[in-house]
Amino acid sequence: MRNFFSRLMYGRYGSDALNLFLLVVGLVLYLLGVFIPLKVLSLLFRLVGYAAILFTIYRMWSRNYTRRREENDQFIRLITPAVQGLQRKRAQMRDKDHVYFHCPSCGQILRVPKGKNRISITCRNCGTVFQKKT
Ligand SMILES: [Zn+2]
């Protein structure tokens, strides 16, 4: 059986981050479509869900490695800023010893110790001084 699948997928592109994303989006849209009471909206969600799942299967079975890899690279470039932003937010929320502020002048993120009451912060990037309560 394992040998059968190995032969079946030989020379095929397989899976990547974009495929996983498309599969999850497709399944979520399809399930939403199943539970939405509005007939037109339900049909639309299920059709778009089907399309995403079919595109995932098409990409997995594709032999055009170059094109599929380009698509995946574009997808990674597109989502990287959002993923990094979420990771930074998560790290800031976990940090119990510091408070984070944006510089009002340049937008630089500044980290200051927590529990110092009212302090004056100097931006390392542009030198702007502002007061904040920590
Ligand atoms: Zn600044």
Ligand 1 centroid from CA 131, angstroms? 13
Ligand 1 centroid from CA 112, angstroms? 14
User: Do 87 and 103 fall into the same domain?
Assistant: no
User: Do 80 and 101 fall into the same domain?
Assistant: no
Torsions phi, psi of 54, nearest 5?
-65, -40
Residues 6+ apart with CB under 8 A from 12: 60, 61, 62, 63
Chain centroid to CA 49: 19
User: Do 32 and 74 fall into the same domain?
Assistant: yes
User: Do 71 and 8 fall into the same domain?
Assistant: yes
Question: What six digits make up the tokens of 128?
Answer: 């702007």
Question: What six digits make up the tokens of 66?
Answer: 């170059």
User: Do 106 and 90 fall into the same domain?
Assistant: no
Domain range holding 118? 96-134
Domain count, the chain: 2
User: Do 86 and 35 fall into the same domain?
Assistant: yes
Q: In this predicted model, what pLDDT tens digit does every residue of 56-77 receive, in sequence order?
A: 999 999 999 999 999 999 999 9
User: Do 38 and 87 fall into the same domain?
Assistant: yes
Contact status, residue 109 vs residue 89, Cβ threshold 8 Å? no
Q: What residues have a C-beta under 5 A from ligand 1, the ion?
A: 103, 105-106, 108, 123, 125-126, 128
DSSP 52-83: HHHHHHHHHH---HHHHHHHHHHHHHHHHHHH
User: Do 101 and 88 fall into the same domain?
Assistant: no
| Long-range CB pairs of 43-51, under 8 A, 24+ apart, other chains included | 49/25, 50/26, 51/26
User: Do 34 and 69 fall into the same domain?
Assistant: yes
User: Do 111 and 60 fall into the same domain?
Assistant: no
Ligand 1 centroid from CA 4, angstroms? 60
pLDDT over 70, % of the chain: 100
DSSP 8-state class, residue 104: T
Question: What six digits make up the tokens of 51?
Answer: 């399309």
- pTM flag (> 0.75): no
Q: Average pLDDT in the 22-47 region?
A: 95
One-letter amino acid for residue 134 of the chain? T
User: Which domain-ending residue is among 94, 109, 125?
Assistant: 94
Ligand 1 centroid from CA 120, angstroms? 13
Ligand 1 centroid from CA 77, angstroms? 27
User: Do 69 and 102 fall into the same domain?
Assistant: no
Q: Average pLDDT in the 10-28 region?
A: 95
User: Do 88 and 132 fall into the same domain?
Assistant: no
